[in-house]
Amino acid sequence: MRALSEHPAAFTSSAEEEAARPLSWSEQRLKPDAQRPHDIFLGAWQSNLLLGIVGLQGRYRVKERHNATLVGLYVAPQGSGHGLGLALVQALLAHARSLPELQQLDLTVTEGNPTAQALYERCGFSVWGVMPRAVKVDGRLFAKVHMVCPLR
């Protein structure tokens, strides 16, 4: 919720919509589920303080099961600039490579977010397209840059 409210243009989910969900929805999403074996969230912790997150969301129709999407990368201001974002994405990629069915990860990043885009490029993602006017935040339109990273 902090990620969504501090950076409304960076994420497609909106804080208002997510706040309306019951806590049980999030608990369910974080639980391991045999029907969604590629789904996971990783956290960057300092003792019991959660400083950063990143998620993987699988696609489970037979023809696209080899793809999954990196979602929700966020590092809290007190943890940023120390390599946590990079470490989270690298850990997620290492985990994805351990899943035998997965062949590539995709993601979108809002145009004009050079820190995130450079971080993804450093990890092996490359841009394959830009969707103009993909999201509207407070009446302002933003394009989404689409990136892909082969896993093997």
Site string for ligand COA, 69-98 (x = CB under 6 A): ----xxx----xxxxxxx------------
Is the Cβ of residue 9 or residue 151 nearer to ligand COA in the bound state?
9
Decide: is 109 part of the binding site for ligand COA (CB under 6 A).
yes
Decide: is 116 part of the binding site for ligand COA (CB under 6 A).
yes
* Options 42, 68, 105, 119; binder of ligand COA; rule CB under 6 A: 119
Decide: is 10 part of the binding site for ligand COA (CB under 6 A).
yes
**Which residues lie closer than 8 Å to 10 by C-beta, 6 or more apart?**
3, 109, 110, 113, 116
The strand pairing partners of 57, in sequence order, are 69
Q: How far apart are CA 44 and CA 55, in angstroms?
A: 12
Interface with ligand COA (CB under 6 A): 3, 7, 10, 73-75, 80-86, 109, 113, 115-116, 118-119
